[in-house]
């Protein structure tokens, strides 16, 4: 069983939710302006973005930080 994580602002939030909310807030173009990765610019979709972010830790870290700054900060 996982212990509670009261100091983790992303606890219980899936990567799919993070990407979806950021796209709703910024749009794909705005998200690309914030984080310059091709999956947000070239034929963007939630599915392709998730695939890229799951195998690219530095990009995932930037997306999670943007989510925290945007919605939790």
> Which CATH number describes the domain made up of 15-72?
1.10.720.30
Low-confidence stretches of the chain (pLDDT < 70) are 1-6, 73
d(CA 20, CA 42): 17
pLDDT the model gives residue 9: 84
Terminal C-alpha separation, the chain: 29
Q: Which CA distances in Å does 12 have to 15, 16, 65?
A: 10, 12, 15
Question: Kindly report the CA angle at 28 between 11 and 21, in degrees rounded to 5?
Answer: 25
pTM: predicted TM-score of the whole model, two decimal places = 0.87
pLDDT the model gives residue 8: 81
Q: Where are the alpha helices (DSSP H) in the chain?
A: 15-34, 46-54, 57-67
């Amino acid at each position: 069983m996982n212990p509670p994580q009261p100091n983790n602002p992303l606890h219980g939030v899936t990567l799919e939710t993070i990407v979806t909310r950021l796209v709703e807030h910024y749009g794909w173009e705005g998200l690309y302006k914030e984080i310059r990765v091709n999956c947000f610019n070239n034929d963007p979709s939630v599915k392709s973005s998730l695939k890229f972010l799951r195998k690219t830790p530095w990009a995932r870290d930037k997306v999670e930080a943007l989510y925290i700054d945007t919605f939790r900060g």
